[in-house]
């Protein structure tokens, strides 16, 4: 029988809810033509905890621990986004030492988050070794966090008006040691992956995200920088004390999976620089200003955003002058970044979908909230 | 462009459609009528002097008690000019009404999920939405619209006042 006479048909594949490459609970309903993807429909909401509803029922200070759970890979940054929004609304001036500590912790957490990403991304593509290497260094950062606030994942470190604890004795030498060895470790990951022929074959020219699509789908963070746009909220609208530090914003060229990988690797180097400068310039003084337990902010609203490891994290807070927020709307990076997946993964092979999904660094609790 | 010149430009160029312009914590904010919602979004996106091509945030607020309806708030920004604006519209609604407004997912595709979320959590109907399924809640969710003020569900307990 001639091959033209064979009957072919499209079929559906359910990827997830629990699939190793979805890093969380996300179901992708994929329409396939042989090995080729024709369309994707993401189903999210499995981790929906209605954090925005909870916020209406808690005081401003009580809500801080919930922000940790929005993005558990980068809790410090999630804390930072919320407290800066509340402080901006109420006009609270944070002591300089607290700002330095916040930036230091946020950047360390950015490195830790990127390390989780590189580990899981490599494992999705079949490279097991980088996973062990990356988690080895992440452990050092988690040790530093544990020394400071006793937690390893959900820190609840920042509070309205400053930070909850000062750094303990022995933190500084340990941090300096980490900063000394870490740049070499990044080179080590690069040695394992960057020019590895199999890795290149899996990532070069795959999942190209062009600029217009990125704009239309509001993609942010390393995912849009991979497409070549030098856009970083730390530089564009400096919050906290980011304007005091000297760092570069790494960008890619073509917007493929490999570019997004390279941007995140270079970001880890830049974050190391920021932490180095923060520890050198760390001033003395208080770590927080007193904010009463049943504190009432003035009536009003605020929109504030920061650069989290995955991109833009924004808070829109409406206050009615009571101790509880009237409404908090949280915009997270993964929410928009996941929407672009069906657009850029179409016509790729199903094996490439794993690489593309991994390269967007979507974290599902952030999508579902 | 800074917020005050942005606000001036908006209230001059679009004076028939926008009103109540002010600066709220350094973001230029304007209000529009629900009938002009889609058209103003189209014009703002296509305005070459603004280049507002990405959504920063898009959400709804239940203001039935204070203003007599749901307010939808959209913040859009430009990477090139590094400015952002907030557009608001108030959809009048009484007790259990589900207000209707046009969809802007044809203007900014990323609005699609934001609108699906608002539809299931607040009960706002986005007319012409390409995919009006639930996003975060179960497909067979039948306990009403959880983000409305005063909503109560089977497992939802309101914390006592302190």
d(CA B115, CA B106): 12
Q: How far is A103 from chain B (nearest CA, A)?
A: 22
Separation in Å, CA A142 to CA A105, A123, A148, A178, B142: 11, 21, 10, 12, 43
| Residue among A314, A339, A369 minimizing CB distance to B56 | A314
- Chain B environment of A57 (Cβ under 8 Å): 158-159
B59 and A50 within 8 Å at the Cβ level: the answer is: no
| Residue among B62, B110, B146 minimizing CB distance to A336 | B110
Nearest CA in chain A to B45: A216
Q: Please check whether residue A232 is in contact with residue A225, taking contact to mean a CB–CB distance below 8 angstroms.
A: yes
d(CA A298, CA A284): 31
d(CA A79, CA A240): 13
ipTM over 0.90: no
Q: What mean pLDDT is reported for chain B?
A: 85
d(CA A119, CA A26): 19
State the pLDDT at residue B161. Answer: 66
Lowest mean pLDDT across A5-14, A89-98, A315-324: A5-14
What are the two backbone dihedrals, phi and then psi, of residue A206, each rounded to the nearest 5 degrees? Answer: -100, 140
- Chain B environment of A50 (Cβ under 8 Å): 146-147
Half-sphere exposure of residue A69: CA atoms within 13 angstroms, side-chain side: 14
d(CA A318, CA B139): 30
Nearest CA in chain A to B151: A53
Residues of B with CB under 8 A from a CB of A: 24-25, 27, 53-59, 61-62, 73, 75, 79, 82, 86, 108-110, 112-113, 134-138, 146-147, 149, 158-159, 162
Q: What is the pLDDT of residues A240-264, one digit of tens each?
A: 888 888 889 999 888 889 999 999 9
Catalogue all structural domains in chain B, each as residue range(s) with its CATH number: 3-93 (3.30.460.80)
B25 and A316 within 8 Å at the Cβ level: the answer is: no
- Chain B environment of A48 (Cβ under 8 Å): 136-137
Q: What is the pLDDT of residues A18-60, one digit of tens each?
A: 776 667 788 889 998 888 898 999 888 888 888 888 888 888 8
d(CA A112, CA A142): 8
Boundaries of every domain in chain A: 48-368
And the tokens for A322?
């009571």
CA dihedral in degrees (A190, A107, A223, A126; nearest 10)?
40
B75 and A312 within 8 Å at the Cβ level: the answer is: no
With both helix axes pointing from N to C terminus, report the angle between A350-359 and A96-124 in degrees, rounded to the nearest 10.
Answer: 170
State the pLDDT at residue A287. Answer: 85
Q: What is the pTM of this model?
A: 0.89
Look at the domain A48-368 and name its fold: Cytochrome-c3 Hydrogenase; chain B (1.10.645)
DSSP state of B89: E
């Amino acid at each position: 029988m001639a091959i033209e006479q064979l009957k072919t048909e499209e079929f559906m594949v359910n990827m997830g809810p629990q699939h190793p490459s979805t890093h969380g609970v996300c179901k992708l309903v994929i329409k396939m033509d042989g090995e080729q993807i024709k369309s994707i429909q993401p189903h999210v909401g499995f981790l929906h905890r209605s954090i925005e509803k909870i916020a209406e029922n808690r005081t401003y200070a009580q809500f801080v621990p919930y922000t940790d759970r929005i993005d558990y890979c980068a809790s410090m940054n999630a804390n930072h986004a919320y407290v800066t929004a509340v402080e901006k609304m109420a006009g609270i001036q944070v002591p300089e030492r607290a700002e330095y500590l916040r930036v230091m912790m946020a950047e360390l957490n950015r490195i830790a988050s990127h390390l989780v990403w590189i580990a899981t991304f490599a494992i999705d593509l079949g490279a097991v070794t980088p996973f062990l290497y990356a988690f080895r260094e992440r452990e050092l950062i988690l040790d530093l966090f544990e020394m400071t606030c006793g937690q390893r994942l959900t820190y609840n470190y920042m509070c309205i008006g400053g930070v909850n604890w000062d750094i303990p004795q022995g933190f500084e030498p340990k941090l300096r040691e980490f900063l000394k060895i870490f740049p070499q470790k990044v080179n080590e990951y690069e040695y394992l992956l960057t020019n590895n022929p199999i890795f290149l074959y899996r990532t070069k020219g795959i999942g190209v995200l062009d600029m217009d699509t990125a704009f239309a789908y509001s993609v942010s963070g390393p995912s849009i920088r991979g497409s070549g746009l030098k856009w970083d909220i730390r530089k564009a609208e400096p919050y906290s004390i980011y304007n005091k530090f000297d760092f570069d914003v790494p960008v890619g060229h073509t917007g493929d999976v490999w570019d997004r990988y390279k941007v995140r690797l270079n970001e880890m180097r830049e974050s190391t620089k920021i932490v180095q400068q923060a520890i050198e310039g760390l001033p003395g003084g208080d770590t927080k200003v007193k904010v009463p337990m049943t504190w009432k902010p003035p009536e009003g609203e605020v929109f504030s955003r920061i650069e989290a490891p995955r991109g833009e994290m924004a808070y829109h807070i409406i206050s009615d002058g009571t101790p509880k927020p009237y409404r908090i709307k949280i915009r997270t990076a993964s929410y928009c970044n996941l929407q672009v997946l069906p657009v850029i993964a179409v016509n790729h092979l199903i094996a490439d979908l794993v690489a593309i999904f991994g390269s967007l660094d979507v974290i599902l609790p952030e999508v579902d909230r | 462009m800074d917020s005050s010149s942005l606000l001036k430009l908006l209230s001059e160029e679009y004076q028939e459609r926008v009103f109540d312009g002010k600066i709220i914590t350094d973001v230029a904010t304007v209000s529009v009528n629900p009938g002009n919602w889609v058209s103003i979004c189209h014009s703002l996106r296509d305005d070459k002097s603004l280049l507002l091509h990405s959504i920063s945030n898009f959400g709804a607020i239940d203001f039935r008690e204070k203003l007599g309806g749901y307010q939808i708030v959209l913040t859009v920004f430009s990477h090139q000019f590094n400015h952002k604006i907030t557009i608001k519209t108030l959809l009048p609604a009484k007790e259990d009404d589900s207000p209707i407004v046009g969809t802007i997912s044809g203007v900014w595709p990323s609005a699609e999920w934001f609108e699906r979320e608002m539809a299931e959590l607040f009960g706002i109907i986005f007319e012409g939405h390409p995919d009006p399924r639930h996003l975060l809640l179960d497909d067979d969710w039948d306990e009403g619209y959880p983000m409305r003020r005063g909503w109560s569900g089977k497992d939802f307990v309101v914390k006592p006042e302190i």
